[in-house]
Chains A and B, each alone.
Chain A
Amino acid sequence: QVQLKESGPGLVQPSQTLSLTCTVSGFSLTSYNVHWVRQPPGKGLEWMGRMRYNGDTSYNSALKSRLSISRDTSKNQVFLKMNSLQTDDTGTYYCTRDRYYGGYDYWGQGVMVTVSS
């Protein structure tokens, strides 16, 4: 069945780089777009960026200078790297998928990231 699972460090120091992995199963990365969405504690959803099925990427303009998304189709993984982390980057980070503008029909369980020294 379709699954997405985020993994990465739970704690990152300020000014350091966050590296997260989204491992998918039950579908192909060459058929679906994979997005990263984050949620600060007690707040709403913020779209961060996406890896399109064809390998193209696009980013939230507010994060673009710090953010990079890549993938390894052989491992069914999509990667997020964001540098210069600050305390307001604390939150839960989700990966999710869509195709043909059908909406985000499956989500990972999310990974909580705390930025603190």
Chain B
Amino acid sequence: DIVMTQAPLSVSVTPGESASISCRSSKSLLHSNGITYVYWYLQKPGKSPQLLIYRMSNLASGVPDRFSGSGSETDFTLKISRVEAEDVGIYYCGQLLENPTFGAGTKLELK
């Protein structure tokens, strides 16, 4: 199975500042079709996960453009600009290139 490793495990951010979360895969997620099959989800407290970013850099429907995804074949970054209170929760990266796997999650809190 492809292992997804996230860092840091937790991050504390001042509202209005930016935050970055990293995710590394144990295998390239770049398919021969040019698509990179990495995804980002946010699980707010007590809620189901929600999709933020699909195929590495595409913003999911209804997600503020303060969120952005980037990366290479095995190293990926989720950036949140101008963090707001509603961004608090646990962020997960995941892959769909092979049988799906998720990272362990990064908890974002406000200072």
Give me the interface of A with B, judged by CB distance under 8 Å.
35, 44-47, 50, 58, 60-61, 94, 96, 98, 101-105, 107-110
Cβ-defined contact, B96 with A101, below 8 A:
yes
Which of these, B55, B61, B102, contacts A44 with CB under 8 Å? Answer: B102
Main secondary structure of the interface of B (DSSP, over half): loop
Task: Assess the B103–A104 pair: CB atoms within 8 A.
Answer: no
Sample of 16 more A-B contacts, CB < 8 Å, known A103-B60, A107-B49: A44-B104, A45-B92, A47-B100, A47-B101, A47-B102, A61-B1, A94-B48, A101-B54, A102-B54, A102-B55, A103-B41, A104-B39, A105-B60, A105-B61, A107-B50, A109-B48
Neighbour of B51 across the interface among A47, A60, A94, A105, CB < 8 A: A105
**Distance, CA A31 to CA B61, complexed state (A):** 19
Check B89 for interface membership: any CB of A closer than 8 A.
no
In the bound assembly, the distance between CA atoms of A105 and B53 in angstroms comes to: 10
Jot down 19 A-B pairs with beta carbons below 8 A, ordered by A: A35-B100, A44-B103, A44-B104, A44-B105, A45-B102, A46-B102, A47-B99, A58-B99, A60-B99, A61-B1, A61-B99, A103-B41, A103-B60, A104-B51, A107-B48, A107-B49, A107-B50, A108-B48, A109-B48
Q: What is the CB-to-nearest-CB distance from A103 to chain B, in angstroms, rounded to a whole number?
A: 4
- Check: B76 CB closer than 8 A to any chain A CB: no
Q: Which residues of A contact B1 (CB under 8 A)?
A: 61
In the assembled complex, B110 has its CB within 8 A of some CB on chain A: no
User: Interface on B for A, CB 8 Å cutoff?
Assistant: 1, 35, 37, 39, 41, 43, 48-51, 53-55, 60-61, 92, 94, 96, 99-105
| A101-B102 in contact (CB<8A) | no
Q: How far is the CB of B69 from chain A (nearest CB, A)?
A: 11
Contacts of A35 in B (CB 8 A): 100
Closest Cβ of chain A to B68, distance in Å, is 15
Bound together, the chains give a CA A102 to CA B1 distance in angstroms of 20
A84: min CB distance to chain B, Å: 21
